Chains A and B, each alone.
Chain A
Amino acid sequence: MAELTYREAVAAGLAQEMARDESVVMIGEDIGAAGGVFKATVGLLDQFGPRRVRDTPISEQAIIGAAMGAAMTGLRPVAELMFADFLSVCHDLVVNQIAKARYMTNGQVTLPLVIRFGNGGGLRFGAQHSQSVENWLMAVPGLKVVVPSTPADVVGLLAAAIRDDDPVMFLEEKALYPTKGEVPDTEHVDRLGSAVVRREGRHVTLIALGTMVHRALDAAEQLAAEGIEAEVIDVRSLVPLDVTTIARSVAKTARLFTVEENPRLCGWGAEVASIIGEECFYDLDAPIRRITTPHVPLPAADSLEDATIPSAETVVTAVRRGLD
Chain B
Amino acid sequence: MSETRAEAGGALGVVDAPDTGGAALDPAARLALYRAMLRVRYFENEAYVLFLQNLVKGTSHLAIGEEAVAAGVAAALRPDDYVFATYRGHAHAILRGASMTAVLGELLGRQNGLMAGKGGSMHLTSAEHNFMGSYAIVGAHLPIANGAAWSARYRGTDQVAVAFFGDGATNIGAFHEALNLAAVWKLPVLFVCENNLYMEYTPIAEVTAVAHPAADRASAYGLAPVLVDGNDADAVYAAAAGAVARARAGEAPTLVEALTYRHGGHSRADPGKYRPEEEVQTWLARDPIPRYRARLEELGVDPGTLDAIEAGARAEVDEAREAAKASPLADPASVERDVFADGGARWRS
Assess whether B340 is in contact with A166, with CB atoms less than 8 Å apart.
yes
Question: How many angstroms from the CA of A127 to the CA of B72 in the assembled complex?
Answer: 50
Assess whether B144 is in contact with A68, with CB atoms less than 8 Å apart.
yes
Question: How many angstroms from the CA of A51 to the CA of B150 in the assembled complex?
Answer: 10
Q: Using A105-B125, A105-B133, A240-B348 as known contacts, say yes or no to A65 and B147 having CB atoms under 8 A apart.
A: yes
Q: Is A102 located at the chain interface by the 8 A CB criterion?
A: yes
Assess whether A65 is in contact with B345, with CB atoms less than 8 Å apart.
no
Assess whether A141 is in contact with B174, with CB atoms less than 8 Å apart.
no
Q: Is A186 located at the chain interface by the 8 A CB criterion?
A: no
Chain B residues whose CB sits within 8 angstroms of the CB of A242 once the complex forms: 348-349
Contact pick for A107, options B117, B132, B337, CB 8 Å:
B337
Q: Is A57 located at the chain interface by the 8 A CB criterion?
A: yes
Question: How many angstroms from the CA of A60 to the CA of B111 in the assembled complex?
Answer: 37
Interface 0/1 of A112-151, CB less than 8 Å to B: 1000000000000000000000000000011010000000
Assess whether B143 is in contact with A93, with CB atoms less than 8 Å apart.
yes
Q: Is B294 located at the chain interface by the 8 A CB criterion?
A: no
Interface SS of chain A: mixed
Assess whether A72 is in contact with B340, with CB atoms less than 8 Å apart.
no
Contact pick for A142, options B152, B161, B339, CB 8 Å:
B339
B102 to chain A, nearest CB (A): 11
Q: Is B137 located at the chain interface by the 8 A CB criterion?
A: yes
Question: How many angstroms from the CA of A165 to the CA of B340 in the assembled complex?
Answer: 8
Question: How many angstroms from the CA of A69 to the CA of B149 in the assembled complex?
Answer: 8
Assess whether A141 is in contact with B161, with CB atoms less than 8 Å apart.
no
Chain A residues whose CB sits within 8 angstroms of the CB of B152 once the complex forms: 73
Tell me the residues in window 217-273 of chain A with beta carbons closer than 8 Å to chain B beta carbons: 237, 239-244
Assess whether A106 is in contact with B150, with CB atoms less than 8 Å apart.
no
Chain B residues whose CB sits within 8 angstroms of the CB of A66 once the complex forms: 143-144, 146-147, 150, 181
Question: How many angstroms from the CA of A244 to the CA of B349 in the assembled complex?
Answer: 8
Question: How many angstroms from the CA of A104 to the CA of B345 in the assembled complex?
Answer: 13
Contact pick for B148, options A51, A72, A93, CB 8 Å:
A72
Chain B residue, CB-CB nearest to A243: B348
Q: Is B311 located at the chain interface by the 8 A CB criterion?
A: no
Q: Is A197 located at the chain interface by the 8 A CB criterion?
A: no
A83 to chain B, nearest CB (A): 18
Chain A residues whose CB sits within 8 angstroms of the CB of B174 once the complex forms: 61-62, 65, 92
B236 to chain A, nearest CB (A): 24
Chain B residues whose CB sits within 8 angstroms of the CB of A192 once the complex forms: 349
Q: Is A97 located at the chain interface by the 8 A CB criterion?
A: yes
Q: Is B346 located at the chain interface by the 8 A CB criterion?
A: yes
Assess whether B137 is in contact with A72, with CB atoms less than 8 Å apart.
no
Chain A residues whose CB sits within 8 angstroms of the CB of B337 once the complex forms: 107
Interface 0/1 of B253-270, CB less than 8 Å to A: 000000000000000000
Q: Is B170 located at the chain interface by the 8 A CB criterion?
A: no
Chain A residues whose CB sits within 8 angstroms of the CB of B97 once the complex forms: none
B177 to chain A, nearest CB (A): 4
Chain B residues whose CB sits within 8 angstroms of the CB of A240 once the complex forms: 346-349
Q: Is A108 located at the chain interface by the 8 A CB criterion?
A: yes
Q: Is B341 located at the chain interface by the 8 A CB criterion?
A: yes
Q: Using A102-B338, A108-B127 as known contacts, say yes or no to A193 and B349 having CB atoms under 8 A apart.
A: yes
Q: Is A157 located at the chain interface by the 8 A CB criterion?
A: no
Question: In which size bucket is the chain B interface?
Answer: 35 or more
Q: Is B47 located at the chain interface by the 8 A CB criterion?
A: no
Chain A residue, CB-CB nearest to B337: A107
Contact pick for A108, options B126, B178, B348, CB 8 Å:
B126
Chain B residues whose CB sits within 8 angstroms of the CB of A175 once the complex forms: none
Q: Is B104 located at the chain interface by the 8 A CB criterion?
A: no
Chain A residue, CB-CB nearest to B134: A104
Assess whether B147 is in contact with A71, with CB atoms less than 8 Å apart.
yes
Q: Is A75 located at the chain interface by the 8 A CB criterion?
A: yes
Q: Is A169 located at the chain interface by the 8 A CB criterion?
A: no
Q: Is B82 located at the chain interface by the 8 A CB criterion?
A: yes
A318 to chain B, nearest CB (A): 26
Q: Is B56 located at the chain interface by the 8 A CB criterion?
A: no
Tell me the residues in window 122-150 of chain B with beta carbons closer than 8 Å to chain A beta carbons: 123, 125-128, 132-133, 135, 137, 140-150
Assess whether A106 is in contact with B151, with CB atoms less than 8 Å apart.
no
A190 to chain B, nearest CB (A): 13
Contact pick for A97, options B144, B148, B151, B340, CB 8 Å:
B144
Chain A residues whose CB sits within 8 angstroms of the CB of B143 once the complex forms: 61-66, 68-69, 93
Tell me the residues in window 156-191 of chain B with beta carbons closer than 8 Å to chain A beta carbons: 161, 173-174, 177-178, 180-181, 184
Chain B residues whose CB sits within 8 angstroms of the CB of A56 once the complex forms: 181
Interface 0/1 of A24-63, CB less than 8 Å to B: 0100000000000000000000000001000011011111
B89 to chain A, nearest CB (A): 13
Question: How many angstroms from the CA of A71 to the CA of B345 in the assembled complex?
Answer: 20
Q: Using A62-B181, A66-B181, A103-B118 as known contacts, say yes or no to A165 and B148 having CB atoms under 8 A apart.
A: no
Tell me the residues in window 65-103 of chain A with beta carbons closer than 8 Å to chain B beta carbons: 65-75, 77, 92-93, 96-97, 101-103
Q: Is A194 located at the chain interface by the 8 A CB criterion?
A: yes
B55 to chain A, nearest CB (A): 20
Question: How many angstroms from the CA of A193 to the CA of B115 in the assembled complex?
Answer: 29
Q: Is B9 located at the chain interface by the 8 A CB criterion?
A: no
Assess whether A70 is in contact with B150, with CB atoms less than 8 Å apart.
yes
Interface 0/1 of B323-344, CB less than 8 Å to A: 0000000000010011111110
Question: How many angstroms from the CA of A56 to the CA of B82 in the assembled complex?
Answer: 23
What are the 3 tightest A-B residue pairs by CB atom distance, in nearest-first order? A69-B147, A65-B143, A193-B349
Provide 27 A-B residue pairs closer than 8 Å at the C-beta atoms, listed in order of the A residue.
A25-B154, A61-B173, A61-B178, A64-B143, A65-B146, A65-B178, A67-B147, A69-B148, A70-B151, A72-B132, A74-B151, A92-B174, A97-B141, A101-B133, A103-B339, A104-B115, A105-B115, A105-B123, A105-B127, A107-B338, A108-B128, A110-B341, A141-B347, A166-B340, A237-B349, A240-B347, A243-B349
Q: Which residues of A contact B (CB under 8 A)?
A: 25, 51, 56-57, 59-75, 77, 92-93, 96-97, 101-110, 112, 141-142, 144, 164-166, 192-194, 237, 239-244
Q: A69-B148, A104-B115, A165-B341 are in contact. List 11 more A-B contacts (CB 8 A).
A: A59-B180, A60-B177, A69-B151, A70-B148, A72-B144, A73-B152, A93-B140, A102-B340, A103-B338, A108-B125, A142-B340
